[in-house]
Structure 1
Amino acid sequence: MKFLLLGILSFLLPLAFIKLCYAIGTISVIRRTKGALFVSTSKAKIEAILDELEGQANFHLVDLGCGDGRFLRAVYRRLGVAGEGYEINPWAYFLARLKNILTGMPIKIYRKNFFEADLSKYDVIFFYLFPDLLLDLAPKLRKEAKPGAIFISANFPLPGFKPYKVLKVEDPIYFYRV
């Protein structure tokens, strides 16, 4: 009985610690993210986006609010493009850096608010953000994005822009070109 209890505790304590880290990370940035939580992009959506990007020549990619970096790692594995990501949630940032180290991928993750970043150097800008953040992001993209840049928005349309393509994979994925 004693060993069973120890076994259960040794399993539950790390899970409780991970959940606590997630909660603290979320609470620490809730005002800046306007309530948006760290939610991973599904594999189906990532595959659909990669299918669309496959014909692109070498491009410079950024993921705004990259979470654990799964999109960036998928792009590198399939297309060989080492993108960059911005993440302000400390828990998601830690996971992204850890997973990149463990996989040995040359992806750069910055613990910085992407509203403070210069987006003019990127050819492809991916984001999975809530509509109220997209309202703030749209003017920044209009001002900074270089001609020909592609924006990819998972789930929600980008205000003031007309998509050239919309894929229906679970929820819509919107593609825009400057």
Structure 2
Amino acid sequence: MPSKSEVLDAILGILRPRRGDVFLDLGCGDARIAAAVAKRFSVYSICVELKDRLLEKAKRRVSEEGVGHLVEVVQSDLYEYPLKGVNIIYMYLLTSANYALRERLEKELDPGTVIISLDFPIPGWQPVCVLQLPCSWQRYLYIYVKGYSDTKAGDPLKLLGGRIDEDLLAGCRGGYTSFP
């Protein structure tokens, strides 16, 4: 199921990637999120997709958006793709898939890595913020920070290093807030 435009607007509105950051979309579908992030912020983005049909759609979108120099489209199983060196992850996966990925997220990601999950939480992790979106479905962005969400210790703002809009986080801090 593709992410709606409200989701894309919210992601582009809250992200503050830094120079040299790597954005990863696990199960990227048609690559709309990764292509938009690459285009807006000029950050290297990786789209991971297993299905041939969606992989071709992703490649086409990347080409049409003119971000081929910034976006790599990879055919891979999201449970096997290496996560090391990634700074921001976006995923729209079921809770069961998030649970299956949780151990790898804990082992492979560096502290401060941002994980944004649409609609489905990562079981056992504490979101820094849950952003409620103004649409009828695809309603929540769960925002996690490796080193805080998985351990429930540390200061998420220090770990984030400015990768998420800090005004948004200050108004949320572990709870729900609405996206304007």
Q: TM-score range by the shorter chain?
A: 0.7 to 0.9
Task: Tell me by how many angstroms 1:76 deviates.
Answer: 1.6
Task: Tell me by how many angstroms 1:144 deviates.
Answer: 0.8
SS, match of residue 44 in structure 2: coil
Q: State the superposition RMSD in angstroms.
A: 1.1
Match of 1:163 in 2: 127
C-alpha distance in 1 between matches for 2:26 and 2:7: 16
SS, match of residue 115 in structure 1: coil
Match of 1:144 in 2: 108
C-alpha distance in 2 between matches for 1:112 and 1:157: 23
Scaled by the length of structure 1, the TM-score of the pair is: 0.75
Alignment partner of 1:57 is 2:18: yes
Pairing of 1:76-87 with structure 2 (within 5 A): 76-87=38-49
C-alpha distance in 2 between matches for 1:100 and 1:63: 13
Pairing of 1:87-102 with structure 2 (within 5 A): 87-102=49-64
Deviations 1:113-162 (A, max 9, x none): 12111101100011000111111011110111111101000011111110
C-alpha distance in 1 between matches for 2:84 and 2:110: 5
Deviations 1:30-65 (A, max 9, x none): xxxxxxxxx1111111111111113x3221110000
C-alpha distance in 2 between matches for 1:49 and 1:145: 20
Scaled by the length of structure 2, the TM-score of the pair is: 0.74
2:22 partner amino acid: H
Task: Tell me by how many angstroms 1:173 deviates.
Answer: 0.3
Match of 1:73 among 8, 30, 35: 35
Using the aligned pairs only, state the percent identity: 29
Higher normalized helix content (fraction of residues): 1
Match of 1:173 among 141, 144, 152: 141
C-alpha distance in 2 between matches for 1:52 and 1:144: 24
| Unaligned segments of structure 1, at least 5 residues | 1-38
SS, match of residue 132 in structure 2: strand
Count residues in correspondence: 139
